[in-house]
Amino acid sequence: MLPRLVRSPFIPLVMFVGLIGFVFTVAEDARAQSSLVFFAALLLAAVFLLWVILVLQHNKKHPRQKVSLNSLLPPELREMDEGERWITFNACRNVYIYYTFALPISTSFCILFPDFPYLALSLIGVLGVGQYIVYWLTIRKLNQY
């Protein structure tokens, strides 16, 4: 259970959505919402600290399958054998296909609706969440075989 949780794309997804929410909160009138900004920062720090604790616990229990805390490679990209490399290849391919359609659509929204100041930031959040969903659904589908 612990290796699946540490390598799951949902923890980075929660941190990403939390960061987008934090940026939205700070972008509003920060003086009027100082307690909300503090709560958002505290929640984001708590999720990050929980992830670090889980990774350290995983590394202690599974010394041959360590997850690096300072690696640029996401922990969900486990490529230990050819089968996992094939699954990762297909998942990344599907995410690439997703971006081929999603980027022009989101650019069109930014061009068509220039009066909405947070539209671009919202679309970045939607693109990131969509990427994790496409990746996770592909991994899940291919792991069933």
Rg (CA), the chain: 18
Tokens of 7: 């390598």
User: Could you give the percent of the chain with pLDDT greater than 70?
Assistant: 70
Give the C-alpha separation, 86 to 25, whole Å: 40
Average pLDDT over the chain reads 79
Apex 115 CA angle, 109 and 116, nearest 5: 70
Give the C-alpha separation, 134 to 117, whole Å: 27
Q: Per-residue pLDDT tens for 45-82? A: 887 888 788 888 888 888 887 777 766 566 666 666 78
pTM of the model: 0.59
Indicate the residue type of 54.
L
Distances (CA, A) of 83 to 7, 90, 117, 143: 17, 11, 45, 10
